Structure 1
Amino acid sequence: MNIVCAETVLAGTPAFQTLGTCTVLPDRAITSDHLQNTDALIVRSKTSINAELLTGTPVQFVGTATAGTDHLDIPWLEQHNIRWCAAPGCNANSVAEYITAALLSLTQTSPFTLHKKTIGIIGCGHVGQALIKKARALNLRILQNDPPLAAQNPTEKYYPLHTLLNEADIITLHTPLTHHGSWPTAHLANFPFFQELKPSALFINAARGGICDYDAWLHAHQQAHLTTSIIDVWDPEPHIRPDCIQQAQLATPHIAGHSFEGKFNGTLACYHALCQHLNHPPTWQPESHMPPPQHPHLEIDAATFSTEEALLHHIVQATYPIQRDDTALRALQPLDEIERAQQFDLLRKTYPLRREFNATTVHLRNATEATEHKIHALGFNLEL
């Protein structure tokens, strides 16, 4: 069994070498020539899977260790009887924690506050549902928009898009990138979208770059109809536009889903799918590859913080200092286009360890019961 694994697949070698010979290659460098003696291919989103790559190869299994599948030509794979798998929901909690960290960061670096705010969540699949839990923990009013889910579940409370755009103080995108069907999402956030957006609303895109028309987004900022944005995904990537980086209040290099758990879950999903495809019992022991968090324990005296938002921000940024990612991306602005693209990929490839909130235990003193509940609901372990 010969397996080719993209180098950004976390723990790819120890996982897949239990099933055969595993060759690791740079994601964007994988070509048809590399696959002439390959049975299975494991990738992430930087590798496009299509006829050009696979025609004339013996590849019979393709796995992507990501939730998104827009880099896979699924109709072609199925037409040629090539088994494929993805990892839906693998990084949903990671993205929800990213948005939690971003919102709390803004409360400390700008006049923004979460008090009495409404969040409009566009796309209520795995990530949307994970974010709803965090939003409830932060006492945000929640408006959900998801036409496909609304059609399947007419009794659930979903709102039309115009309601979210007119009422929400925070608009965040969490749809897949689709170009066809009844509800295509490509350039969903376009000129009319931003024109209808509530003045002073905060806009977030941590889904897919192509869901947003960034020319329309820039125009909305230039016209002062939109003043604050958090952007993690860009169009195009990796050739990101410096004018877009400059305009965003918080700009990060497509790493919202890059917690250790988020990437690890993707690898695990592909591993189990390949085991099933081969009718091979899983023998890899993933627990041995779980690193300790940077801060397994936090000692917090709530009485030393002037506001609850400051307290929550302190706890969250101790586990995920999101401004670090913003600083790293902004450092790419002066570079030429080719070097900027290379460094963008490098930021993602060499992303530092980030464990999720539930890897940290907070030892809390002098907090109200409501604050204790919020910290626990955000995902932290709590000791009083």
Structure 2
Amino acid sequence: MGDRPRVFVARRIPDDGLQPVSQACEAEIWPDELPPPRDVLLRSIAGCDGVLTLLTDRVDAEFFDAAGPQLKVVSNYAVGFDNIDIPEATRRKVPVGNTPGVLTDTTADLAFALLMAAGRRVAEGDRYVRQGRWKTWGPMLLLGHDVHGSTLGIVGFGRIGQALARRASGFGMQILYHDVNRLPPEVEEPLSATFVPLDELLARSDFVSLHVNLTPDTEHLMNAERLRQMKPTGVLVNTSRGPVVDHDALFEALRDGVIFAAGLDVTEPEPLPPSHPLLTLDSCLVVPHIASASRATRGKMAEMAAANLLAGVRGERLPTPVNPEVYERG
């Protein structure tokens, strides 16, 4: 046991990744459904060669100090890495891995599911039946908005945004997009996607779906002013990061009929407290950050996270490093 790398796995992940880690390493695996408390996390990583983290685990200078100078790798079980101080990891020459690419289609599936469910009031209809309120067919009952033939505005046209556009094309939707830079024609044309300024996208779209990274520029990107630019029949979908939307402004916009509905996979904070005002609104559909939650995708994520962890503890280059510059320094 002594010559095997010591690793800490901050949550139980699918066996696709857990088994190879357990076989190759002296692995401590946090068994609870909730993440380890901060003090427990810091104690558990002391002396470890590698740590497999989740978005709920803050990886910063305190983390690296607690782990010690022998730490060789942090492998994040996510495509995002908002929880990690990447410059600090790089300064300490610790490679960080993530799980890109594998989430693309599964996340796009969930975004489109939220779009349809919010626009057609699916969750609200389910509650209506379960509450015993369904008495007869009604010509004005739970009227929503058509998805087919409508206009979809995609904010952030990377892998997931483009995958959502492919799904929308099957519904005959007109596709507008906005990104920091316009994409080349070979990307736009197969998707029949039109680049427009953000203000125009918000004004013209029936559905707006957010697929941006969380940066200082995108924090509260959807604030009160931008929500007012949307149609009163508009539906907002967020599967990117919770802080991209100002939740207080969203509550007011939904309550006052500024927009029609919202579908959120991510919130600020996470989890969203049961007492949050958004949860008092039938027009706001919230699910618990499950965009990647298919068995196949979570299994592939586990494989990738394990591959990064094992490569790191062996002193090999990570298959998917976030900070490849660590390999360029002497």
Bigger drift between 32-41 and 273-282 goes to 273-282
Q: Which residue of 1 aligns with 2:54?
A: 44
Q: Structure 1 residue 23: deviation in Å?
A: 1.0
Aligned residue in 2 for 1:78: 90
The counterpart of 1:2, out of the listed 6, 9, 12, is 6
Aligned match for 1:267, one of 302, 307, 312? 302
Say whether residues 1:169 and 2:206 are aligned partners.
yes
Of residues 267, 278, 290 in structure 2, which corresponds to 1:244? Answer: 278
Distance 2:88 2:280 in 1: 39
> Aligned with 1:203: secondary structure?
strand
Task: Tell me whether 1:24 sits opposite 2:29 in the alignment.
Answer: yes
Aligned partners of 1:208 and 1:233 also within 8 Å: yes
* Matched ranges for 1:260-299 at <5 A: 260-277=295-312, 278=314
2:151 corresponds to which of 110, 118, 131: 118
Return the offset for 1:19. Answer: 2.5
Report how far residue 220 of structure 1 moved.
Answer: 1.1
> Do residues 228 (structure 1) and 261 (structure 2) align?
yes
Q: Is the 8 A contact 2:72 2:315 kept in 1?
A: no
Identity of aligned residues (%): 24
Aligned residue number for residue 199 of structure 1:
232
Alpha-carbon contact 1:172-1:205 (below 8 Å) kept: yes
What is the CA deviation profile of residues 234-262 of structure 1, one whole-angstrom value per residue up to 9, with x for unaligned ones? 11122535211222432211112222233
Deviations 1:92-116 (A, max 9, x none): 2122111232334343544222132
Amino acid paired to 1:255: I
Q: Is the 8 A contact 2:18 2:302 kept in 1?
A: no
C-alpha RMSD of the superposition: 2.3
Tell me, what secondary structure is at the counterpart of 2:24?
coil
Write the distance in 2 (CA, Å) between the matches of 1:281 and 1:171: 39
In the alignment, the residues of structure 1 paired with residue 185 and residue 18 of structure 2 have an alpha-carbon distance, to the nearest angstrom, of: 45
Alpha-carbon contact 2:235-2:261 (below 8 Å) kept: yes
**Distance in 1 between the 2:185 and 2:82 partners?**
28
- Hey, what does 2:44 align to over in structure 1? 34
Find the counterpart in structure 2 of residue 212 from structure 1. Answer: 245
Report the 3-state secondary structure (helix = DSSP H, G, I; strand = E; otherwise coil) of the residue aligned with 1:53.
Answer: helix
Equivalent AA in structure 1 for residue 294 of structure 2: S
* Distance in 1 of aligned mates of 2:249 and 2:26: 48
Task: Output the amino acid matched with 2:60.
Answer: N
Q: Aligned letter for 2:239?
A: A
What letter is aligned with 1:189? M
Q: Match of 1:230, SS?
A: strand
Aligned to 1:358: none
- 1:10-61 CA-partner distances (Å, limit 9, x unpaired): 3342131233111111533352211122100111111111111221423220
Letter in 1 for 2:63: L
1:324 maps to which residue?
A: none
The 1-side partners of 2:56 and 2:308 are apart by 20
- Taking structure 2 as the reference length, the TM-score comes to 0.77
Of 269-278 and 152-161, more deviation after overlay is shown by: 152-161
Inter-partner Cα distance in structure 1 for 2:276 and 2:12: 25
The one-letter code sitting in structure 2 at the alignment partner of 1:9 is I
Q: 2:172 aligns with which of 139, 143, 149?
A: 139
**Higher deviation after alignment, 186-195 or 132-141:** 132-141
Give TM-score scaled by structure 1 length.
Answer: 0.67
Q: Identify which of structures 1 and 2 has the higher relative contact order when contacts are C-alpha pairs closer than 8 Å and 6+ apart.
A: 2
What is the one-letter code of the residue matched to 2:221?
Answer: L
Structure 1 residues 32 and 249, CA gap change in structure 2 (3 angstroms): closer
Distance in 1 between the 2:21 and 2:297 partners? 18
Question: What secondary structure sits across from 1:200 in the alignment?
Answer: coil
What's the CA shift for 1:64? 0.6
Shift of the alpha carbon at 1:281? 12
Distance 1:198 1:133 in 2: 23
Distance change >3 Å, CA 189–CA 260, structure 1 → 2:
same
Partner of 1:158: 195
CA contact (8 A) 1:220 1:226 kept: yes
Seen in structure 2, the aligned counterparts of structure 1 residues 188 and 104 have a Cα distance that, compared at 3 Å, is closer
Amino acid at match of 2:198: L
